[in-house]
Homo-oligomer: A and B are copies of this chain.
Amino acid sequence: MRAAADRDRCAISGIGATEFSSDSGRSALSLAVEAALAAIADAGLAPADVDGIVRCDLDAVAHNDLAQALGLPDLTYWGTSGPGGAAPGGMIGQAVGAIRSGQANAVLAFRALNGRSGARFGRAGSGSGAGSGGGRRVGGGGKYDEFFAPYGLVAPGHLFSLLARRHMIEFGTSEEHLGHIALACRARANANPAAQMRDRPLTMEDYLAARMISSPLRLFDYCLETDGACAVVVTSRERAEDGPQPPALIRAVAQSAGPEPQVGFLYPTLMRKSLTTQTSKALAGTLYRRAGLGPGDVDVAQFYDCFTITVLLQLEDYGFCPKGEGGPFAASGAIDKGGSLPINTSGGHLSEGYLHGLNHVVEGVRQIRGTSTSQVPGAEVCLVTSGLPVTTSGLILRRP
């Protein structure tokens, strides 16, 4: 028997972000501090009110670095979630758990990185063949190298391209279908002055003319490389209601490793029974059950979009369209502004910036507050997903 999960007992009461750029010229700690101070002020709090910090396992900024820089007098909760892009939902989950068990009152969740000017994600590791560069290994720390590296599968893009190709083979998905996802995100970025791609329109012709990187994935199927930071403050609902901003209630939060638990590595993606149904399917079940809601209740979604194909898979796995129909659904206009399920309304990782899932949480809060630059009128329920389909977490935010 499962325990009943919390609903609407905690909220995100503050959000903050730095500029997203390709060359911050600053340390990740400096970026984290700026985003954290913005989020704390936005929540109507002072740094001294923060007694918890949760972080992503790949963040270069340790809890103590941030606590010291912010001058926190009494840090009594900290935790780490991951792996990598799967962190945000797990981080929010830890914050909710800490608050609900009386271990913290106000928990800061942050992600800071110089993803372009510093250690760059998404490149083959030097000598590890395991995934991203800069000493980070998204492929499993080299554990599976012998099965994949001989075939040239040494970077995330290589692996996700196989998912995309498989979807094309099984369901007739086209390159243009993926292109529609890239275009939808880019159009939202063009409306968002904070997006890295704010001034760069994208047409289907541009998309199809862009260079192929790992067939069938082209340049614009890949997310950006970004320097920047995001932060949010999680408190009890009651504290959030005392703050200056409308609370974004955390209706439900969940993590899932799926029925074949392979948390956190890209390579096992390819070992699953199906390449085209990922852990997002299992997560959707948990998240909807905990929330007492279904896909029909979701007004807007921020899907983790390290590549276009992950969005397409999630459209299916979260039940917004039948299996195999993610491509036509994306091409139908449903995911665009004014559609039935507008997605990635800040521009997402594909076109706003790659803050490893946490900018999706920030944008989700904006939708609940009604302050997005691509606001969905009357949005009350926002789905936010974190991480690759291979291992994943997510949350549902709700207007009070």
Instruction: Point out residues on A near B: beta carbons under 8 Å.
Output: 1-6, 9, 57, 62-64, 67-68, 72-83, 90, 93-94, 96-103, 105, 236, 253-257, 259-265, 268, 282, 286, 290, 391
Contacts of A253 in B (CB 8 A): 103
10 closest A-B pairs by beta carbon, nearest first, are: A97-B97, A5-B102, A64-B263, A67-B261, A75-B257, A100-B101, A80-B80, A63-B263, A97-B101, A3-B102
Q: Which B residues are CB-close (under 8 A) to A63? A: 257, 261, 263-264
| Distance between Cα atoms of A9 and B100 in the complex (Å) | 12
Residue from B75, B80, B81 within 8 A of A82 (CB atoms): B80
Nearest B residue to A257, CB-CB: B75
Q: How far is the CA of A103 from the CA of B81 in the complex (A)?
A: 14
Our pick among B75, B76, B94, B282 for the contact of A97 (Cβ within 8 Å) is B94
> Which residues on the B side are within 8 Å of A262 (C-beta)?
64, 68
Shortest A143–chain B CB gap in Å is: 9
Contacts of A101 in B (CB 8 A): 5-6, 9, 93, 96-97, 100-101
For residue A99, which residues in chain B have a CB less than 8 angstroms away from its CB? 3
Closest Cβ neighbor of A75 among chain B residues: B257
Q: How many whole Å from A77's CB to the nearest CB in chain B?
A: 6
Give A370 Cβ to nearest chain B Cβ, in Å. Answer: 27
- Cross-chain pairs A/B with CB under 8 angstroms, 18 sampled: A1-B105, A63-B261, A64-B261, A64-B263, A68-B260, A72-B261, A76-B254, A76-B286, A78-B90, A78-B263, A93-B101, A93-B103, A96-B103, A97-B97, A97-B98, A97-B101, A100-B100, A103-B253
Complex Cα distance A257/B77, Å? 8
Contact present for A6 and B102 (CB under 8 Å): yes
> Which residues in B have their C-beta under 8 angstroms from that of A68?
260-262
Complex Cα gap A79–B99 (Å): 16
Query: Within 8 Å CB of A81, what residues of B?
Result: 78-80
**18 new A-B pairs (CB below 8 Å) besides A5-B101, A75-B263, A101-B101?**
A2-B105, A3-B105, A6-B101, A57-B57, A57-B80, A62-B263, A64-B261, A67-B257, A68-B261, A74-B259, A76-B255, A76-B256, A79-B90, A79-B93, A80-B81, A94-B94, A96-B103, A103-B254
Residues in B with CB closer than 8 Å to A93 are 77, 79, 98, 101, 103
A292 CB to closest chain B CB (Å) equals: 12
For A287, give the chain B residue with the smallest CB separation.
B76
Most chain B CB inside 10 Å of its own CB: which residue of A57, A64, A96: A64
CA distance A282 to B81 in the complex (A): 25
Contacts of A391 in B (CB 8 A): 64
Q: Which of B3, B78, B255, B290 contacts A255 (CB 8 A)?
A: B78
User: In the assembled complex, which residues on chain B have CB atoms less than 8 Å from the CB atom of A98?
Assistant: 93, 97
Closest CB of chain B to A222's CB: distance in Å? Answer: 25
Q: How far is the CA of A42 from the CA of B290 in the complex (A)?
A: 29
Question: Which of chain B's residues have a CB closer than 8 A to the CB of A265?
Answer: 62, 64
- Which chain B residues border A72 with CB–CB below 8 Å? 257, 261
Assembled-state Cα–Cα distance A75/B393 (Å) = 11
Q: Is the CB–CB distance between B78 and A80 below 8 Å?
A: no
Interface centre among A79, A81, A268 (most CB of B within 10 A): A79
B96, A3: Cβ atoms closer than 8 Å: no
Q: Which residues of B contact A67 (CB under 8 A)?
A: 257, 261, 263
Query: Which B residue sits closest to A236, measured CB to CB?
Result: B3
**Most chain-B CB neighbours within 10 Å: which of A57, A97, A255?**
A97
In the complex the two chains form, what is the Cα distance from A57 to B83 in whole Å?
12
CB distance from A385 to the nearest CB of B (A): 15
